[in-house]
Chain A
């Protein structure tokens, strides 16, 4: 009995120890470590979304930064776009978002409202962040209510990416100032001559509809609401569906199935509206040659375009606001970083980086020429502020537009559904 008692006691102690260790381990993991260390080295978590080429370039850029700033270490986190925001939302609600992260205009007000974004003005005033030398006024893209919540790393505009070979073969030309009617006539010619659709599905793209509305004196968003009516949208989707039925716009069933490839690079259509820097991606994906064409207009003049941008923001609760600001400043100004990143996130936003990177390949050169042409044409307007909930509405617009194109929802019902979902998104 005596021995067994001893054994039991030992067993109990061991088990207790093991349990405590397990719980302890859980606790340590849950808390996360402090990002500072004894020797004054600071670690910043830096998160972005994007494909593999961006990640490779980004890691090179980080290495340059760490070499020049040995007291600051950068811990990278990256995923694709959709996963990024789901993860970010969860991290941010738990009070643990990355110190520095990639951001976009659709999320500024949303996370400002939730108190997540650091106003970088104070850091700029303290001399930790340089807010000079931004091109074409893009710095304003990161401003909300007189706060600097993001610092643009690149700028881009919506464009029409075209299959150059297909357009040439069909004998149609995309010219500056052409109208929507001329664009749809071109699609008809392409369909008649080449037996393929002309467009991949323009009417589900929120940013394109925004341009169309701007051409007509409206905009997709006001400061806190939608800037158009249900009737406007019903008309837009009715026309869109008609063009799917007539084959001017590619069959949505087929577009769906080539994802993540675009319908354009998969050869299902001859053109696609998207951000101009995407044309670089299509060159690698598809078998044809791709070029940038002007956005069709309503009056032959105004395209409604503006410079959108990706930006870097910092977490309001970061323990190292100074270092975070220094890192952002370096990433947007350092010429070497500009050379490494190229136009991956749009035309480089600061003059230092813009001058340092000289594109050598046709695609990057094309993007540069396009941006310069658009800027010269004087059509660039100001970016519309996106209210909180814009990201949810963009997803709804794409989804409901898809239902219309599949013939599953009538345009009027679809417009009604979007307005109802928008209401919920603004309230959220």
Chain B
């Protein structure tokens, strides 16, 4: 609006010489900024936005990579909802999200509470607990996990000491998903660091006051710590749920690229990958991808809606 207003004033160049130079400078600055960003912008357009738009189109086509895509409307979606393997993948993924996310956050919060206290070698502990998050996504860890949870490996032997003979989790369709859950929990470092930052923000006076009122540690945690870090908790719940919905690498490696045995680790993205790259049904795979986007968006929306009930921001606390 200001630009339009200033436009007629242009003939009086002398008067507005300085602001005009300023504007030019700003524009040039912006231009430099955009130029610096251009590799990223080009990358985003070519590698992210472009493929996303293309995949949205493919979701409504039958496309085997070789012959041109054929428009089929909502066929992929209807086939998908009726496909028993797709239903299985949804079931497996939900189970994973519902089990892995809370357990991981619980552990992250527990360890963060311990590490928030001042003690010697604190930095070392923090680094040690954070480490698995750094290497957790690698393929090699998947292999290590496979070795740990196989028949007659360390987990199995330990279980046998307690009289539980499972014969290894990896080959057992009833247990293998929990090996993946364990791998996810083990990588609790990232949410832990965020919890730590949140815990540091809680004013000490609150604890002192509560202590004077005779509140025990549990009560202090429940009535002070938890409400005070609820924004951080919300952030972690949101981020970890989204991550959990997208789990792929660990399932793919632990199951020898088969998402098995007996489809027990057929997480959503694993099935999507099989459909797209093994069976060359790119239309179906795209439909699956967009359904996941919508599902995650819905979950996010529900979480945002629910935060009004349990997340306390400082303004609200006042």
Contact = CB atoms under 8 A, between A and B. Distances in A.
B261 A252 contact: yes
B262 A406 contact: yes
Interface string B46-75: 100000000000000000111100000000
Interface string A235-254: 00000000000000001111
Given A19-B42, A89-B65, A406-B173, A399 B168 contact: no
Interface residues of B, number: 36
Interface stretch (B134-142, B200-208, B222-230, B275-283): B275-283
A428 B31 contact: no
B257 interface: yes
A257 B173 CA distance: 12
Contacts of B32: 8, 11-12, 15
B291 interface: no
Contacts of A23: 39, 42
B36 A15 contact: yes
B191 interface: no
Interface residues of A, number: 43
Contact of B278 (A19, A392, A402, A417): A392
Nearest to A80: B257
| B interface secondary structure, majority | loop
A184 B46 CA distance: 59
B171 A253 contact: yes
A12 B28 CA distance: 9
Contact of B279 (A26, A251, A258, A392): A392
A194 to B, nearest CB: 19
Interface string B256-288: 111011111000000000000111110000000
A402 B171 contact: no
A425 interface: yes
Contact of B171 (A255, A392, A408): A255
B262 to A, nearest CB: 4
Contact of A253 (B46, B64, B167, B263): B167
A402 B277 contact: no
Contact of A257 (B170, B263, B279): B170
Given A19-B42, A92-B66, A402-B261, A253 B84 contact: no
A406 B278 CA distance: 24
A114 B84 CA distance: 29
B173 A408 contact: yes
A230 interface: no
B237 to A, nearest CB: 32
B279 A428 contact: yes
| A interface secondary structure, majority | helix
A85 B279 CA distance: 10
Nearest to B277: A86
Contact of B38 (A1, A19, A259): A19
A90 interface: yes
A369 interface: no
A48 B24 CA distance: 60
A138 B279 CA distance: 29
B151 A253 contact: yes
A402 B262 contact: yes
Interface in B1-44: 21, 28, 31-32, 35-36, 38-39, 42
Contacts of A409: 262
Of A11, A251, A257, most buried by chain B (CB within 10 Å of CB) is A257
Nearest to B39: A22
A352 interface: no
Of B21, B39, B168, B257, most buried by chain A (CB within 10 Å of CB) is B39
B171 A93 contact: no
A392 B85 CA distance: 15
A395 interface: yes
Contacts of A258: 151
Of B65, B262, B279, most buried by chain A (CB within 10 Å of CB) is B262
Given A12-B35, A15-B32, A392-B278, A252 B171 contact: yes
A19 B39 contact: yes
B150 interface: yes
A428 B261 CA distance: 25
B66 A93 contact: yes
Interface of B: 21, 28, 31-32, 35-36, 38-39, 42, 46, 64-67, 84, 150-151, 167-168, 170-173, 256-258, 260-264, 277-281
29 contacts: A1-B21, A12-B28, A12-B31, A19-B42, A85-B278, A89-B65, A89-B277, A92-B65, A114-B66, A116-B66, A252-B171, A254-B151, A254-B167, A255-B171, A256-B171, A257-B151, A257-B171, A395-B278, A399-B258, A399-B263, A402-B260, A402-B261, A402-B262, A403-B262, A408-B264, A424-B279, A425-B279, A428-B279, A428-B281
Given A90-B65, A253-B261, 14 more contacts: A11-B32, A12-B31, A12-B35, A23-B39, A85-B278, A89-B277, A93-B65, A253-B168, A255-B171, A256-B260, A257-B150, A257-B151, A402-B260, A402-B262
Going nearest first, the 8 A-B pairs with the smallest beta carbon separation are A256-B171, A93-B65, A253-B171, A114-B66, A15-B35, A408-B262, A257-B171, A403-B262
